[in-house]
Amino acid sequence: MLSKKTQYAFHALIHLAENVDKGPILISEIAQEKNISIKFLENILLELKNAGILGSKKGKGGGYYLMRPPKEIALAKIIRLLDGPIALLPCVSLNYYERCENCRDEATCGLNEVMGKVRDSTLKILENKSLKDILTR
């Protein structure tokens, strides 16, 4: 399961995407609208900003905004940033690979093979679906 952090990030990004025309959006507005602890959300938005996904403006009229059009922000990127690996096992992770310590040889391990397929089918969706694809219909 995705952590609350990642779930909140998605909902916040959705709100930002649905209000791109309104300039910078307040943290407090997102928190209220999406029912998220404001202080926790603060940290999340900051992390998204430091990763280049969001921009911000201080002072009156300030807030957060998307740095790119929603269509260009892949869901996989958000998950990896806040939650880490998408794969079910370290030994099949593309971005956070770790050797398996319980099997003799990954090349002949059937678990490795199947979990690799799960990873592929998941990534096929998450790499190709963007923020634009998860907006309210």
Partner DNA sequence: ATAAATCCTATAAAAAAGATAGACTAATTT
Partner DNA sequence: AAATTAGTCTATCTTTTTTATAGGATTTAT
| Long-range own/partner contacts, residues 9-12 (CB < 8 A, 24 or more apart) | 9/44, 9/48, 9/78, 9/82, 10/75, 10/78, 10/134, 11/36, 12/36, 12/41, 12/44, 12/45, 12/48
Q: What 8-state DSSP symbol labels residue 25?
A: B
Q: Which does 99 bind (CB under 5 to 8 A by kind): DNA, a second copy, none?
A: none
Dist CA 104 CA 78 (whole Å): 34
Q: How far is the CB of 49 from DNA (least distance, A)?
A: 5
One symbol per residue from 29 to 48: x for binding DNA (CB under 7 A), - otherwise; what is it?
Answer: --------x-xx-xx-xx--
Residue of 14, 45, 48, 66 interacting with a second copy (CB under 8 A)? 14
Q: How far apart are CA 36 and CA 65, in angstroms?
A: 18
Minimum CB separation of residue 15 from a second copy in Å reads: 10
Binder to a second copy among 10, 27, 48, 73 (CB under 8 A)? 10
CB-nearer residue toward a second copy: 41 or 54:
41
Going by C-alpha positions, the residue among 85, 63, 89 that lies closest to residue 76 is: 85
Binding site for a second copy (CB under 8 A): 1-2, 7-8, 10-11, 14, 34-36, 75, 84-85, 87-90, 101-105, 108-111, 113-114, 117-118, 121-122, 124-126, 129, 133-137
